[in-house]
Copies of this chain bind each other. A is one copy, B any other.
Amino acid sequence: MSQSQAEVELLDRNDPLGPKREAFRIPEGLIYLDGNSLGVLPRAVPARLERVIQQEWGTDLIRSWNLHGWMELPLKVGAKIARLIGAQPDEVVAADSTSINVFKTLLAALRLRPERRVIVSDIDNFPTDLYIAQGVNALLNGKYELRWVHKEGLEAAIDDSVAVVMLTEVDYRSGYRYDMRRITELTHQHGALSLWDLAHSAGAFPVDLNDCGVDFAVGCGYKYLNGGPGAPAFVFVARRHQAAAFPFLSGWMGHQAPFAFLPEYVAAEDIRRLTVGTPSVLGMSALDTALEVFDQVDMAVLREKSLRLTDLFIEQMEPLCSAYGFQLMTPRAHERRGSQVAYAHPEGYAIMQALIASGVIGDFRAPNILRFGFTPLYLRYAEVLEAVRRLEDVMRNQKWQEPRFQVREKVT
- Give A contacts to B, CB under 8 Å: 25, 27, 30, 32, 34, 37-38, 40-41, 45-46, 49-50, 53-54, 56-59, 61-66, 70-71, 96-100, 103, 107, 123-124, 126-128, 130-132, 134-136, 138-140, 148, 222, 228-233, 246-253, 255, 258-265, 276-284, 286, 356, 361, 363, 365-366, 409-412
* Other-chain contact of A278, B58, B222, B410 (Cβ < 8 Å): B222
Q: What 3 pairs between A and B have smallest CB-CB spacing?
A: A97-B277, A99-B251, A135-B250
Q: Are A123 and B263 touching (Cβ within 8 A)? A: yes
- How many angstroms between the C-alpha atoms of A162 and B30 in the bound complex? 60
- How many angstroms between the C-alpha atoms of A66 and B107 in the bound complex? 34
Q: Which residue of B lies closest to A276 (CB)?
A: B99
Residues of chain B lying within 8 A (CB to CB) of residue A65: 229, 410-412
Q: Are A62 and B412 touching (Cβ within 8 A)? A: yes
- How many angstroms between the C-alpha atoms of A140 and B250 in the bound complex? 14
**Among A38, A232, A248, A278, which residue has the most Cβ atoms of chain B within 10 A?**
A278
- How many angstroms between the C-alpha atoms of A138 and B264 in the bound complex? 13
* Sample of 8 A–B contacts (CB below 8 Å): A41-B54, A41-B58, A96-B277, A100-B249, A124-B263, A127-B262, A131-B251, A230-B280
Q: In whole Å, how far is A364's beta carbon from the nearest beta carbon of chain B?
A: 9
- How many angstroms between the C-alpha atoms of A283 and B283 in the bound complex? 7
Q: Are B53 and A132 touching (Cβ within 8 A)? A: no
